[in-house]
């Protein structure tokens, strides 16, 4: 999968050289390139922002550098991902959707955001497959870079071969519509807290049943909205606990 990230702070994306994303880049599984938007400016100050039409606080990112960035990077298979608080809430389902795309171009906004015409123009370009506006959550960040990190990491780890053990993907929170059960490792007793007996029993059916029941209980307690969504038509089937 190819991912281009355009930002005015390329160093913000440095963590993508570490750990599993770093390995995926080294192995060629993830062709990830980070670009400085200012490469596509032509004035002495490398200006990327200007005052908003209509007045108001803050600055708006100018369309010209973004237009040139897309001219340089877009292909007919490109999905332009625009982090914005006004976008589709990011979820595992959306990560799975984006993971099927061959090329993501993540456009990191700053200031009051990107001139709307950049998005409208991108959506109409023949060399752009789609524009997906994505919100990381109902809060405001300083820029799209933190959202880009989250989106790229969640999408990259779904690429076949990214995880050493693909089974660990299937068992994670949100994969079956539920939160994951609590997990434990050695020692069996630590500071007066014991690992639940069933996990030491060796009875795999009992362990699976306990884990499913814990997942359901946690989800009901912490995220009842997920259970409601799972029981809607087209939602994920939630099996009754045994």
Annotated binding-site ranges for S-adenosyl-L-methionine:
109, 136-141
**In sequence order, which residues have a C-beta less than 8 Å from that of residue 109 and are 6 or more positions away?**
61, 82, 83, 84, 143, 144
CB-wise, 142 or 231, nearer to ligand SAM? 142
Q: Which of 38, 41, 8, 3 is nearest to 143 (CA)?
A: 8
CB of 27 to ligand SAM, least distance (A): 29
Query: With respect to ligand SAM, which residue has the nearer C-beta, 108 or 118?
Result: 108
Comparing CB distances to ligand SAM, the nearer of 24 and 37 is 37
Residue 183 CB, shortest distance to ligand SAM, in Å, is 29
Annotated binding site: 109, 136-141
Min CB(169)–ligand SAM separation in Å? 24
Cis (ω within 30 of 0) for the bond into 187? yes
Interface with ligand SAM includes 212 (CB under 6 A)? no
Q: How far is the CB of 87 from ligand SAM (least distance, A)?
A: 6
- Residue 103 phi/psi, 5-degree rounding, is -145, 120
User: What residues contact residue 11 under an 8 Å CB cut-off, 6+ apart?
Assistant: none
CB closer to ligand SAM, 18 vs 140: 140
C-beta separation of 20 from 162 below 8 A: yes
**Could you identify the residue written with the tokens 């355009």?**
6
Buried b / exposed e along 42-65 (16+ C-beta atoms within 10 A): eeeeeebbeeeeeeeeeebbbbbb
Query: Interface mask (CB under 6 A) for ligand SAM, residues 110-149, using x and -?
Result: x-xx---------------------xxx-xxxxxx--x--
Nearest to 89 by CA among 28, 154, 35: 154
Residue 67 or 85 having the CB closest to ligand SAM = 85
Which residues in the 50-89 window bind ligand SAM by CB under 6 A? 83-86
Rg (CA), the chain: 22
Stretch that binds ligand SAM, among 63-71, 72-80, 106-114, 193-201 (CB under 6 A): 106-114
Contact residues for ligand SAM, defined by CB under 6 A: 83-86, 108-110, 112-113, 135-137, 139-144, 147
């Amino acid at each position: 999968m190819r991912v281009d990230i355009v930002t005015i702070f390329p160093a913000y994306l440095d963590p993508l050289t570490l750990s599993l994303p770093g390995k995926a880049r080294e192995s060629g599984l993830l062709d990830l390139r980070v670009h400085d938007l200012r490469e596509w400016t032509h004035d002495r100050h490398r200006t990327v922002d200007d005052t908003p039409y209509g007045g108001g606080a803050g600055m708006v990112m100018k369309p010209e550098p973004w237009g040139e960035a897309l001219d340089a990077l877009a292909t007919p298979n490109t999905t332009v991902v625009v982090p914005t608080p006004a976008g589709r809430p990011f979820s595992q389902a959306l990560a799975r959707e984006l993971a099927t795309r061959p090329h993501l171009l993540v456009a990191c906004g700053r200031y009051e955001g990107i001139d709307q015409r950049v998005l409208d123009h991108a959506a109409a370009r023949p060399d752009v497959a789609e524009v997906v506006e994505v919100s990381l959550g109902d809060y405001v960040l300083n820029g799209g870079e933190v959202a880009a990190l989250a989106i790229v990491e969640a999408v990259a780890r779904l690429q076949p071969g990214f995880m050493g053990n693909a089974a660990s993907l299937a068992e994670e929170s949100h994969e079956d519509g539920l939160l994951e059960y609590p997990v434990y490792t050695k020692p069996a007793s630590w500071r007066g807290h014991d690992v639940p007996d069933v996990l030491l029993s060796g009875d795999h059916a009992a362990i699976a049943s306990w884990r499913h029941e814990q997942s359901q209980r946690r989800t009901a307690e912490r995220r009842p909205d997920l259970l409601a969504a799972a029981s809607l038509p087209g939602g994920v089937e939630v099996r009754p606990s045994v």
